[in-house]
Structure 1
Amino acid sequence: MKNASTESDHKRLARYILARYGAYPTVWITAQEFNDVHSGSCGQCWANVAAYVYDLDPYKRANSMHNAYTNPIVYHDQSWYGFVTLQQSHNRVSSVDYWLTQYNAIPPRPILEDEANYEDIIPWYGGGTITPKWKTRQSAWQSQIAGTFGFTYGAQGIWWACYTTLDINYNCGNGSDARAWNTAIDFPVGEQMSFMARFWTSFEWWLLAPDGDAIIWSSAPNNTQKPYQKTDGNNRTLVIAYLPLQLNGTIYNGTVRNLSPTGLYTSQWFNPRNGTYSIIDEGWMPTKAGLWNIPSQPTSTDDWILKIQRINGPNALPNFAFGASIRSSSNRNINQTSNKAVDGDLGIYWQARDAQGFSNSWLAVDFHVNITFNKVCIIEYDQRTTGYRIEYWNGTHWLIAYTGFTINHEGIIFKAVTGSQMRIIFTSGIGYSPIIYELEVYDSTSIAT
């Protein structure tokens, strides 16, 4: 649609389609390439049609418009615009930033990569050559790691129904470029999409989000082959990174950050070409600062997926104290403040003033909402503590959850309690005052048995 003169005709067609298919579970995608300026497409005209469909749809189902490859950020603030439909286009390589730009747009919208590097697509669409297979696979993984909710795979001979290689249609190709559907269904990247699907569905993928701070890449390109990662948040019990193939054959180097210093982890390489895993290491712990250096990839001329997962039982659950609001009875100086006990860094610590000593020194964590917990890990210096209490705030009073003497660094487990705050009161010890590297709070009762 190039101008508003035919808008009413398109609305009439849309009304028919809605009446015909509206009883089925469906989504609506309006237009082919609504913002294709080269063909003179009237983007606002198409938007008016899409809004019209949304207004008529009694179920207000997901609604979008199919972009051209220019990746515009438009209509995010419109109620009818339910999700972004991207087209990276063909025989094209993009940085992961192509998808992150949409992911970070405000207000946010779910993103579907709907047309990217169809496998073996003909030179007419592939910039003069057939799109190589690694580009198809890379687009799929890059878009997923950057926060899209889905990827639409396409292949020459299938995206346009080509029944034989002799079909007279320029979309089916000619001569050696032609592909028929019964050949395309056996293309290798098509099978590799099933490997990708099994990989993501092997865990709760919807809990992960792009996380640019999780890995510091020290030897990696900042172009189309830029690696990137997603995690499950500050606790980083699961880290997934996609390392595209290196066109010059070099190795990616980087350091994973903010892992739990007390956590046990396993790390694996996933091969996206055959769907197999290879173990890097099992049962390892990061440095006291929560760091882990990424080893060399199995090969330097292929793409790889790095998977890091915390495995040590209850500690794999969220640490409610990490980064939480915290206060203390006193701080020894400006470098040994209470927040050092919940920052995940074993290289720094909280210490009470020497003058206060052990008796009645305390740390209190404010969760701001009620949580249930039954395990506390206290990592202290030199096992100084000889007496302490763990208390929780029930909204009215401080109640005792546990009373102990020496601290077990593996964790203190007690009957589950619920409160909006938790505190540790030190009652006796050896030395000047308590020194606490880290304080962690967990709910191990939520583990399925």
Structure 2
Amino acid sequence: GEQEWRVRFSPRMVGEYACRTECSDRSNPSLHDQRGILVVQPYEGNRPLAKHGPLRASASGHHLEHVDGTPFFALADLWWLGASRRLSWPEGFQRLTADRVAKGFNVVQLIAGLPCDMPAFDERAANEAGHPWEEGYARVNPAFFDMLDLRIQWLVRSGVVPCIYGAFGYHLLWMGVERMKQHWRYLVARYGAYPVLWCLAGCVPMPYYLSQDRDRDAEQIRSGWAEVASYLRRIDPYGHPALMQPLPFQLPLDEEASSRLLDVYLLHTGAARAGRQGRAMSHVREIVARQPRKPVLGGESGFEGLGGCTADDHRFGFWAFVLSGVVGYTYSAAGIWQFNNEGDLFGPSAYGITQSNTLWMDACHLPGSRHVGLGRRLLERYPWWRFESHPEWVEPHADDADPTNPYAAGIPGQVRVIYLPRPALPTPWGKPVTVVGLEPGATYRGFFFDPKEGAEYDVGPISGCSCWAMPAPPLLQDWVLVLEQVGAS
């Protein structure tokens, strides 16, 4: 801003790079035709994002990976207003980052100043330097992004991938397509050199909450964001993966545009609570099966502590999604997305309802965040990127008729992971669970994994059978059963 110009550059190869500036005012010798040499040397530290590089979709379309080929399982936390002063810098932001890193999160989703649940230029969205745009969208406010720089840099230094939302979708109606393109051009120029994910917009094509013509607004939002998505693909020199949050159980754009313009599908299922799991899992299977194949990430799926959503729901969402072909999961908690502070509650959303008064520093200790982190750590003990869903490995198994039956996935002849959403009651109170299709002559080591505490309970070697009747787990709760092949006769 003002008389200071900066460029961020993130090369993929070591060596010398010549640089030269071009200015629209060619008569300005301070800006036009400035030349220099950049010397890029190998990185020798241990920060994972610097060591392995930014993300891309794998060649198979199955999962995300770093540019050096290292698979990346995305465990995200939802911080809608994480760019605002509601999460103080540096104390609050660094404290929450440390908590999430310790629990196993490696992605944070936050909005670049044009957020949900409020009109444009609401003071609750401002950071220490104001809003990202001046009133009337006359021009960008670089000072806002100076403060966002500090937050983005801290996430990257901490090993966390920033998933930057350009806006909540309805802001496009106020800004217009051309201003939104300018907004995204600025984001690419400012943050493209970092290992980021681009989420073009949230809840597309949802109109503003108080819209007077919802059908017309939804159509304008959908078509406008398709144009912005096409523009982003043209201008991002780094080719960061692009995604877009849809409304629940939908694609954000039409079938053709979603396939052509998005690199990753982001699910929006609402909370998969008791009685609602069937619709969520049917949608998961539908999106995972789309061709050409693209990585599928679990997105917004209910906020722990809001509307009856619990840690149980997030454990179900994590394990049922992942064992059905999803390669990442987003956790969210009431009190964190809006960052309630003592003496400074977020208050009512635009539609007049206050969602939660839970303080974010209390919400960060809700148990679901720890449970999903335990899940990621268990998965990463195995080559999870080679996992495929195998419902036929267990009887009974989940289907549309009963989505609370077990889920199974893994690698034939190597490892099987089975999630048991319901307490496994012995007969006559419950149905026996049978692992089927075991390879002839194979020997497995089996253990129950407690998805709440991370403890393991050995069930001994399993061999000499193609079908194995699962014993009762130690407690009446949900469990993960793991079978590791350890030998063959």
Q: What TM-score do you get using the length of structure 1 for normalisation?
A: 0.60
Q: Give me the identity figure in percent.
A: 22
Instruction: Report the counterpart of residue 298 of structure 1 in structure 2.
Output: 474
Report the CA distance between 1:120 and its aligned residue. 0.7
CA distance in structure 1 between the partners assigned to 2:295 and 2:446 by the alignment: 30
The answer (yes or no) to whether the contact 2:443–2:462 under 8 Å persists in 1 is yes
Amino acid of the structure 2 residue aligned with 1:189: G
The answer (yes or no) to whether the contact 2:314–2:372 under 8 Å persists in 1 is no
Larger radius of gyration: 1
Structure 2: give runs of 5+ residues left out of the alignment. Answer: 1-169
Report the CA distance between 1:177 and its aligned residue. 4.6
CA distance in structure 1 between the partners assigned to 2:249 and 2:354 by the alignment: 31
Alignment of 1:43-442 (within 5 A): 43-72=222-251, 74-75=255-256, 78-90=259-271, 92=273, 93-95=276-278, 96-121=281-306, 126=307, 130-164=308-342, 166-170=344-348, 177-217=356-396, 222-233=401-412, 235=413, 237-245=414-422, 251-280=430-459, 282-287=460-465, 290-300=466-476, 302-312=477-487, 315=488, 410=489
Q: Which has the higher contact order (CA 8 A, sep 6+)?
A: 2
The answer (yes or no) to whether the contact 2:398–2:406 under 8 Å persists in 1 is no
CA distance in structure 2 between the partners assigned to 1:214 and 1:63 by the alignment: 34
Three-state SS of the structure 2 residue aligned to 1:163 is coil
CA distance in structure 1 between the partners assigned to 2:354 and 2:181 by the alignment: 41
Q: Deviations over 1:86-144 (max 9, x none)?
A: 111247432333312211112211011121122112xxxx3xxx423311221122211
The answer (yes or no) to whether the contact 2:391–2:398 under 8 Å persists in 1 is no
Report the CA distance between 1:150 and its aligned residue. 0.9
Three-state SS of the structure 2 residue aligned to 1:13 is helix
Three-state SS of the structure 2 residue aligned to 1:120 is coil
CA distance in structure 1 between the partners assigned to 2:267 and 2:366 by the alignment: 23
Counterpart check, 1:13 vs 2:178:
no
RMSD: 3.2
Report the CA distance between 1:276 and its aligned residue. 0.8
Instruction: Report the counterpart of residue 29 of structure 1 in structure 2.
Output: 199
Three-state SS of the structure 2 residue aligned to 1:240 is strand
Report the CA distance between 1:69 and its aligned residue. 0.7
Amino acid of the structure 1 residue aligned with 2:415: L
Going from structure 1 to structure 2, the CA distance change for 1:211 and 1:12 (only over 3 Å counts) comes to same
Going from structure 1 to structure 2, the CA distance change for 1:252 and 1:83 (only over 3 Å counts) comes to farther
Equivalenced residues, count: 301
CA distance in structure 2 between the partners assigned to 1:15 and 1:4 by the alignment: 18
Q: Deviations over 1:367-407 (max 9, x none)?
A: xxxxxxxxxxxxxxxxxxxxxxxxxxxxxxxxxxxxxxxxx
CA distance in structure 2 between the partners assigned to 1:117 and 1:247 by the alignment: 26
Q: What TM-score do you get using the length of structure 2 for normalisation?
A: 0.56
Going from structure 1 to structure 2, the CA distance change for 1:52 and 1:9 (only over 3 Å counts) comes to same
Going from structure 1 to structure 2, the CA distance change for 1:195 and 1:189 (only over 3 Å counts) comes to same
Report the CA distance between 1:166 and its aligned residue. 4.6
Three-state SS of the structure 1 residue aligned to 2:298 is strand
CA distance in structure 2 between the partners assigned to 1:298 and 1:165 by the alignment: 44
Three-state SS of the structure 2 residue aligned to 1:142 is helix
The answer (yes or no) to whether the contact 2:193–2:238 under 8 Å persists in 1 is no
The answer (yes or no) to whether the contact 2:405–2:422 under 8 Å persists in 1 is no
Structure with greater proportional strand content:
1
Report the CA distance between 1:222 and its aligned residue. 3.1
Amino acid of the structure 2 residue aligned with 1:85: L
CA distance in structure 1 between the partners assigned to 2:257 and 2:416 by the alignment: 29
